[in-house]
Amino acid sequence: MRVILAALCALLLSLTPAASAEADPDPARAAADRLVAAMGGAEAWSRAHGLIIRARHWETSIDAPYENLIQMSFDEPRMRFDGDSATMIRRRAIANGAGWRVSELRELSPMTLEQVANDLKWWEAHAYRNIGRLARKDPTITPRLAADGRLELYRPDGVRLMWYRLNPAGEPVAFGAWDNEQGSVFGPLIERGGGIKLPAWATSADGAFRAILVEATALPAAPAADWSKP
């Protein structure tokens, strides 16, 4: 009897680590995987290395809605913005660490270091770009779950990059970048080219910014935009 009991104990001890690992996966990584799956899946997002977005924007600081075209690379800080309305024509782009801008109010001029830095922060914490990084299991971002259940992404230096609030299906219903705790609200996901899904609309928590997605195209490389001039 003692031999049998000893054998059973040894068997239970050998099974314990594997059983614990199976019953207790990393909940933050599991949430990140659900988010990627809800937005079209890891395969589709792993193929995406650039994005073109056309959207209609409303802002309380601008007197009329405008059409906004965003072209960006996921792999390097390269981006271009074109905003147009009946009264507004605005262009700006950043590539190779420098940028330019022009509008109906100012002539073509270089962007200041502060302006470039602000756009680089926007790019680093972009909600869609970081879906691609999660899909590729980028080792330079670490997912964690906050006390309120939000999925947070952290840089290697311990700085929080951004957060997503997910519904039970893993879909993002809100997000915020850096230390912004209010963030923005996402509309329902709709399928776009290349198998990815993106929110149909977005609005800031206070309503000062609203946008409706017109079209979006995921690209296997950076967009073929003109980064050097309007």
In a domain, 5, yes or no: no
> For 25, what's the count of Cα atoms within 13 Å in the CB-facing half-sphere?
8
Q: Model's pTM, two decimal places?
A: 0.87
pLDDT tens for each residue of 141-158:
999 999 999 999 999 999
| pLDDT value of residue 194 | 81
> For residue 52, is it within any domain?
yes
Please provide the DSSP assignment of 19-69 as one string: HHHHHS--HHHHHHHHHHHHTT-HHHHHH--EEEEEEEEEETTSSS-EEEE
Domain contains 102: yes
Q: What is the pLDDT of residues 87-128, one digit of tens each?
A: 999 999 999 999 999 999 999 999 999 999 999 999 999 999
Residue 21 pLDDT: 42
Count of domains observed in the chain = 1
Residue 120's domain is classified under what CATH number?
Answer: 2.50.20
- 193: which DSSP letter? B
Secondary element (H or E) of residue 161 = strand 160-166
Residue 192 confidence (pLDDT): 85
Instruction: Give pLDDT, residue 210.
Output: 98
Task: Name the residue range of residue 172's domain.
Answer: 27-219
> Could you tell me if residue 18 is inside a domain?
no
What parts of the chain have a pLDDT lower than 50? 1-21, 23-24
